[in-house]
Structure 1
Amino acid sequence: MGTLEAALWSPAPSVAVGAATGLPDAALESVRETPGGATVVAGQLPPRLGESVREVAREAFVQGKR
């Protein structure tokens, strides 16, 4: 999951990150904005990838609360 986490919250241009994750720019922005946005996008992905996106978003949210 580290690679997915790095790609989702990378400071790299969104085009490069989108290509690395397979997410369109709008979906990537939703994932980065809120846990709810990540959940919506995750629900549209294949189950394994969707669960990874949800887990990364949860972890980022928890880390942001500290």
Structure 2
Amino acid sequence: MVDNNSSMWLIFTRMSAVPGRKSIEVPKLWDKYYKMYKENTIKAVDVMKILELKKTTFYKLINQYEESN
């Protein structure tokens, strides 16, 4: 017998849509404030307030940005 979770996964897989959270969108002014943050002209807390990011999201974006560059 197939349970509901298995059948839902099969449906999502066939539709090529994986269930879960959407990926993080990079804010429009990210480059500007990232550069200021790295130059120590602005604190991380201030960047989070300005860009309306939570702490976890902010540091995830930093990791993604540094890995891609």
The normalised TM-score by structure 1 is 0.43
Rg larger in 1 or in 2?
2
Relative contact order, higher structure (CA 8 A, sep 6+):
1
The normalised TM-score by structure 2 is 0.41
